[in-house]
Amino acid sequence: QVQLVESGGGLVQAGDSLRLSCAASGRTFSGYTMGWFRQAPGKEREFVAAIKWGGSMTYYADSVKGRFTISRDDAKNTVYLQMNSLKPEDTAVYYCAVSAYRLRTVVGRTTADFGSWGQGTQVTVSS
């Protein structure tokens, strides 16, 4: 059973940057797509970014494209989300997740495509 622990959230002002980290333990996530989702109060959990196993392919929600960068370090079993030019609408709890399928060619963007989740880290952006 893989365990995911997010860190790096906090309270920042609009325009600032944050870097989220997600450390996995229990098993390697090499061979699995990793993703970041977020959930704002009263809203459904939404896709933010994903990085395919191998690290060569990345995918982003339109709302964060050009501002956020996802990366991974399989040697450290860690995935990162660099968030720049933060906006108040980025305020949410951010969750990392591991794909439910190993070596899957298709990269899903729904919560059903991911099998294990972290506990989340709060990101608050003030205007």
Distance between CA 30 and CA 62 in Å, rounded? 26
Give residue 29's pLDDT.
Answer: 87
Quote the Cα angle for 76-79-83, to 5°.
135
pLDDT tens column, 55-67 = 889 999 999 999 9
Dump pLDDT digits (tens) for 9-54. 999 999 999 999 999 998 888 899 999 999 999 999 999 999 999 8
**Tokens 């196993």, residue?**
53
Structure tokens given for 73: 């370090």
Q: Report the SS3 class of residue 49.
A: strand
Residues 83-122: tens digit of each pLDDT: 999 999 999 999 999 999 898 888 999 999 999 999 999 9
| Distance, CA of 38 to chain centre | 8
What are the residues whose beta carbons fall under 8 Å from the beta carbon of 56, sequence distance 6 or more?
none
